[in-house]
Structure 1
Amino acid sequence: MEYRKLGESDLELSVITFGSWAAGGWMWGGTERSDAVDAIKASYDLGVTSIDTAPVYGQGLSEEIVGEAIKGLPRDKVQILTKYGMRWDLEKGSLAFKSKNNDGQDIDIYKYAGKESIIEECESSLRRLGTDYIDLYQIHWPDVTTPIEESMEAVQRLIEQGKVRYAGVCNYDAEQMKTAESAIRLASNQVPYSMVNRGIEEVVVPYCLANKKAVLAYSPLERGLLTGKIKPGHHFQEGDHRAQHKYFSEDNVKRVNVFLDKLRPMALDKGASLGQLVLRWTIEKPGITVALVGARNAEQAVQNAKAVDVKLSAEELSFISRELLAIGI
């Protein structure tokens, strides 16, 4: 495994970081808890020491699964990344969207990052995770109803109390990061990034490079689309959000598969899967610190971790860029 520093902090993350949204089952058609625990443990055995989660993933279930998986591991050898600011149990802030929990019950998800709410959320996360500190605490989405400075001051208090080591943000633009830094020193920004979703290259990545902030890329496999396993006509399980997502429209799935067919010979030559090739490409991109990758069982976790063994030359990276341009991505 390879490790990289998180901005100017002394926190090092594994370049393949375990993303545990799918582990919580919510919006992914359910989960098998024991499989999710095994996936995290299998990742750790291969050097994936960093785990990203959030309270809203499974409405606490994902954090509980992470806590179960790391129980008994040396705490200083594991980096726990979690979030705040998405409430399903409090009607405050702005309504993000309506959803259903893992039991099929209707729930409303709110974006809210008021000071006292953050303090409360942190205590709940610590309890579910079975730890007394969080390595990286990140606001999940911007909250337009609360001043950014108020949210960051709450996290600063948690840092002073030793409950949080470093502060990060998710889904922030450069201006929002600047505002946050008037109240706290940020270590990172977690944003969506993949071969087919590269919007952050325009402003966010240059800003983070110039200001020495880490970029945590989530959905690098574009929710499984870039593994090559999603074909036109694919049927998703009940409750799987991908069925309605724009990237999984019939036309887009066809277009992406044309591109992936161009990469298959390269992957085959390296003895790698398409997913592994895509992950290596992701962590080779300038400004990208780590790739957050989900897995629902040990087999998937092992395949993700082994992406670090893939090597890409400058010529191969250029070839991939040309093929992306050729299909208009």
Structure 2
Amino acid sequence: MEYRKLGNSELSVSAITFGAWAAGGWMWGSTDRNDAIEAIRASYDLGVTSIDTAPIYGQGTSEEIVGEAIRGLPRDKVQLLTKFGMRWDSDQGDFAFHSKNNDGEAIEIYKYAGKDSVIYECEQSLKRLGTDYIDLYQIHWPDVTTPIDETFEAVSRLVEQGKVRYVGVCNYNAAQMAEAERTIPLVSNQIPFSMVNRAVEDETVPYCIQHGKSVLAYSPLERGLLTGKIHAGYIFQEGDHRANLPHFQPDFIEKANILLERIKPLADDKKVSLSQLVLRWTIERAGITVALAGARNADQAIQNAKSIELKLSADELEFVSAVVDAF
């Protein structure tokens, strides 16, 4: 495994980080708890020491699974990355969307990062994760109802108390990052990035490069689209959010699969899967520090972790990038 520093911090994370959204089941058509725990442990055995989760993933389920999976492991050898600012148990803040929990019950999701809420959420996360500190604490989405300085003053208090080591953001643009930094030093921004979703390269990634902030790329496999396993007419499980997304409609699936067909000969030549080629290309991209890769079982987790073994020459990277640019 390769390890990379987050920003100018002392925190090193694995370049392939375990993304635990799907492990929580929510919006992914349920989860098998034992499979998820085995996936995290299989990743760890291959050097994936960093795990990214959030309270909203299964309304606590993902954090609980992560906590169970790391039990017995040396705490200083694991990096726990979690989030705050999305509430399903409160109607304060900015309404985000309607959803259903893992039991099929209707819930409403709010973006809220008021001072008291941040402190409360941290305490709940610490309990679910079974730890006394969080390595990287990230606001999940901007909250337009709370001043940014109020939010990060609360996070500063958590840092002072030793409950949080380093602070990051998710889904922030450059201006929001700059405003947050007036209150607290940030080490990272977690943003969506994939071969078929590169909008963040216009402004946010260049800002992070210029200011020494790490980028944690989420959905680098575009929620499974770039695995080569999704085809027109693919049947999703009930409760799987992907069924209605624009990227999973027949026209877009067909277009993405053409891209994959063009790079597949390179994957075959290297004796790796398309997923492994996509993940390796992602972490070689300028400004990208980490690729967050989810897994529902140990086999998927092992495949993701082993993508780090793939070596690509400058010419091979240029070839893949040219195909992506053409897309």
Question: Helix, strand or coil for the counterpart of 2:9?
Answer: coil
Could you tell me which amino acid in structure 1 is paired with residue 183 of structure 2? A
* Other-structure match for 1:138: 138
Question: Mapping of 1:186-265 within 5 angstroms?
Answer: 186-265=186-265
> How far apart, in 1, do the equivalents of 2:6 and 2:281 lie?
19
Deviation at 1:325, TM superposition (A): 3.1
**Between 129-138 and 305-314, the greater mean CA deviation after superposition:** 305-314
* Other-structure match for 1:48: 48
* Other-structure match for 2:290: 290
Could you tell me which amino acid in structure 2 is paired with residue 178 of structure 1? A
- Aligned length, in residue pairs: 327
* Other-structure match for 2:281: 281
User: Structure 1: which 5+ residue stretches go unaligned?
Assistant: none
Residue 313 (structure 2) pairs with residue 313 (structure 1): yes
Query: What is the TM-score when the length of structure 1 is the normalising length?
Result: 0.99
> How far apart, in 1, do the equivalents of 2:289 and 2:50 lie?
12
Question: Helix, strand or coil for the counterpart of 1:116?
Answer: helix
Deviation at 1:322, TM superposition (A): 2.0
> How far apart, in 2, do the equivalents of 1:225 and 1:68 lie?
29
Q: What is the CA RMSD across the aligned residues, in angstroms?
A: 0.6
Question: Helix, strand or coil for the counterpart of 1:137?
Answer: strand
Question: Mapping of 1:70-149 within 5 angstroms?
Answer: 70-149=70-149
> How far apart, in 2, do the equivalents of 1:312 and 1:259 lie?
18
Could you tell me which amino acid in structure 2 is paired with residue 18 of structure 1? F
Q: Deviations over 1:85-114 (max 9, x none)?
A: 000000100110000000000000000000
> How far apart, in 2, do the equivalents of 1:237 and 1:260 lie?
24
Could you tell me which amino acid in structure 1 is paired with residue 188 of structure 2? S
Could you tell me which amino acid in structure 1 is paired with residue 101 of structure 2? N
Q: Deviations over 1:111-136 (max 9, x none)?
A: 00000000000000000000000000
Could you tell me which amino acid in structure 2 is paired with residue 4 of structure 1? R
> How far apart, in 2, do the equivalents of 1:228 and 1:50 lie?
26
Deviation at 1:320, TM superposition (A): 1.4
Deviation at 1:324, TM superposition (A): 2.3
> How far apart, in 1, do the equivalents of 2:254 and 2:66 lie?
36
> How far apart, in 2, do the equivalents of 1:246 and 1:269 lie?
32
> How far apart, in 1, do the equivalents of 2:209 and 2:129 lie?
32
> How far apart, in 2, do the equivalents of 1:122 and 1:317 lie?
40
User: Structure 2: which 5+ residue stretches go unaligned?
Assistant: none
> How far apart, in 1, do the equivalents of 2:325 and 2:70 lie?
42
Q: Percent identity?
A: 69
Question: Helix, strand or coil for the counterpart of 2:222?
Answer: coil
Query: What is the TM-score when the length of structure 2 is the normalising length?
Result: 0.99
Runs of 4+ in 1 over 2 A off after TM superposition: none
Could you tell me which amino acid in structure 2 is paired with residue 9 of structure 1? S
Residue 195 (structure 2) pairs with residue 167 (structure 1): no
Residue 322 (structure 2) pairs with residue 322 (structure 1): yes
> How far apart, in 1, do the equivalents of 2:297 and 2:85 lie?
28
Residue 300 (structure 2) pairs with residue 300 (structure 1): yes
* Other-structure match for 2:33: 33
